[in-house]
């Protein structure tokens, strides 16, 4: 069973150092969170799993890491300046502002009044100034999606790699949206991370690729430990499609607060590359959008056989890192009742996602020999490079196990008198089964190496 409530997850995240409210010392900043010592590991592991699946395990995707600050023109031609809005209403009674399509019963959630203004579009982009002069020409935006810079770098990547269709460009990074009402912990925030793939295909093959990517992505979420029974596919109806999309499937997940979007998989057609392309006519390019007089690039690809230029179509699986972290935490969280009637909280994270892979615990924290052996084992295992190995001398092995159950550490190793005085073996304790076995220290690298490599491809 996953967590019963968001409160349980929020409490665990704060208590054990996964997620903190940003700027909390000064009352916080609404819709902004910081990731703590364990949160950063979990988040990095999720992003690494995505990168492995998207870039390393395929042979048709390249990576990119582009700037967050974005030239205003990019977001004008992409359509974001004009249309990246949510409908906003004001409550005339208490002055609160709400997203119109999130209101229930047409009433203000704060004071209950139905005296609301008509909805009006509110642009979600964060605007800023670049350089010391504040005028219209220095206006820039924090990117609202990582996708646009993939499109604006399309020609650079093609020229640098000689890629032919179909191929993709992957990027993981921050995006910013001035959400009218951020809520539900890290589900809807104003600063978040996305894992986006833009997969460029021949027009005409786009629908088939769209289906392929939907299946790939559902599969990937399952490999992160998400129960398929809590995943749903939602075909976005035409009237709700984003301005660039011909068709979108949303991967929906049963979060503690309800079923909501975890990832969107859109067929963006030639909308974006076409919007950023100049000289379409002179190249005989047939794109669905108008010429761009400001751009200096032809974001098109030449067909080697026919010699003609064309603007590819693009399929975009776009997943939220923060929503992903929330989903995997929710899936992993469970409270078990033990035979003796006590309970234990366990984060049954997949091993490749666990923030700490192995904890090494000395039976006595003041015993020189035990401490030295435990530290040496930690160092040796850490050097294998499968993830974080922690030395932890809480002095109480039972409590150590419980602490590590709660943060999802798959293996604990205990070093005791038998280790140093008799046979150089340690106790290996398994998070899920709580089974304890003795293993020779010499066998540990092979044992833990195999344990974690099994999940490495997830
Ligand atoms: P929503 O309808 O929930 O506002 P969206 O359809 O606007 O989301 P997309 O533009 O499709 O979202 O963005 C792709 C992904 O980025 C989403 O599936 C989500 O995981 C993530 N994302 C978008 N907005 C936010 C946000 N405010 N906070 C956290 N993650 C977000």
Q: Which atom of ligand 1 is nearest to the CA of 194?
A: 16
Residue 2 pLDDT: 76
Which of 409, 395, 392, 388 has its CA nearest to residue 345?
409
CA-derived radius of gyration, the chain: 26
The span from the CA of 138 to the CA of 130, in Å, is 5
Distance (angstroms) between ligand 1 centre and the Cα of 59 equals 28
Of 181, 320, 324, 325, the one to substitute when testing ligand 1's pocket (max ligand atoms within 8 A of C-beta) is: 320
Which residue positions in the chain have pLDDT lower than 70?
1, 278-289, 291, 296, 454-458
Residue 454 pLDDT: 59
Which residue in this structure is represented by tokens 């100049």? 278
DSSP letter (8 states) at residue 131:
S
Q: Which atom of ligand 1 is nearest to the CA of 187?
A: 29
The answer to whether residues 18 and 36 touch, using CB atoms and an 8 Å cutoff, is yes
Q: Find out whether the beta carbon of 322 lies less than 6 Å from any atom of ligand 1.
A: yes
Distance (angstroms) between ligand 1 centre and the Cα of 286 equals 31
Distance (angstroms) between ligand 1 centre and the Cα of 320 equals 6
The span from the CA of 273 to the CA of 151, in Å, is 6
- Which H helix or E strand runs over 250? strand 247-255
Residue 457 pLDDT: 47
Residue 287 pLDDT: 63
Distance (angstroms) between ligand 1 centre and the Cα of 261 equals 7
Distance (angstroms) between ligand 1 centre and the Cα of 240 equals 14
Q: Find out whether the beta carbon of 196 lies less than 6 Å from any atom of ligand 1.
A: no
pTM: 0.95
């Amino acid at each position: 069973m996953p967590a019963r409530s968001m409160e349980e997850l929020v409490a665990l995240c704060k208590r054990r150092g996964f997620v903190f409210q940003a700027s909390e010392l000064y009352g916080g900043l609404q819709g902004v969170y910081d990731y703590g010592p364990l949160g950063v590991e979990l988040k990095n592991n999720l992003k690494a799993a995505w990168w492995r699946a998207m870039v390393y395990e395929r042979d048709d995707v390249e990576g990119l890491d582009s700037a967050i600050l974005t030239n205003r023109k990019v977001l004008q031609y992409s359509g974001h300046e004009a249309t990246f809005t949510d409908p906003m209403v004001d409550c005339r009674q208490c002055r609160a502002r709400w997203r119109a399509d999130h209101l229930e019963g047409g009433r203000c959630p704060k004071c209950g009044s139905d005296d609301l203004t008509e909805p009006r579009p509110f642009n979600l982009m964060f605007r800023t100034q670049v350089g010391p002069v504040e005028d219209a020409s220095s206006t820039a935006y924090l990117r609202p999606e990582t996708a646009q810079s993939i499109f604006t770098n399309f020609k650079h990547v093609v020229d640098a790699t000689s890629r032919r269709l179909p191929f993709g460009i992957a990027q993981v990074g921050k995006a910013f949206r001035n959400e009218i009402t951020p809520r539900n912990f890290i589900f809807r925030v104003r600063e978040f991370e996305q894992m986006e793939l833009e997969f460029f295909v021949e027009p005409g093959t786009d629908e088939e690729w769209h289906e392929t990517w939907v299946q790939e992505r559902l599969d990937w979420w399952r490999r992160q430990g998400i129960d398929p029974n809590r995943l749903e596919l939602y075909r976005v109806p035409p009237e709700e499609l984003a301005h660039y999309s011909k068709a979108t499937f949303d991967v929906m997940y049963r979060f503690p607060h309800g079923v909501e979007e975890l990832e969107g998989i859109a067929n963006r057609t030639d909308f974006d590359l076409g919007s950023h392309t100049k000289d379409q006519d002179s190249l005989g390019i047939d794109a669905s959008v108008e010429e761009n007089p400001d751009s200096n690039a032809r974001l098109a690809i030449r067909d080697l056989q026919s010699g003609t230029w064309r603007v590819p179509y693009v399929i975009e699986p776009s997943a939220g890192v923060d929503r992903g972290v929330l989903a995997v935490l929710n899936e992993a969280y469970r409270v078990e009742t033990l035979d003796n009637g006590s309970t234990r909280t366990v984060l049954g994270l997949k091993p490749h996602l666990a923030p700490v892979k192995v904890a090494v615990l000395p039976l006595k924290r003041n015993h020189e020999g035990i401490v030295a052996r435990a530290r040496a084992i930690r160092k040796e295992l850490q050097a294998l490079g499968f993830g974080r190995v922690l030395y932890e001398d809480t002095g109480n092995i039972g409590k150590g196990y419980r602490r590590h159950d709660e943060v999802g550490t798959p293996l604990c190793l205990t070093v005791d008198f038998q280790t140093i005085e008799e046979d150089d073996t340690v106790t290996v304790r398994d998070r899920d089964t709580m089974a304890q076995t003795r293993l020779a220290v010499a066998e540990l690298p092979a044992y833990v190496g195999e344990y974690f490599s099994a999940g490495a491809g997830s």
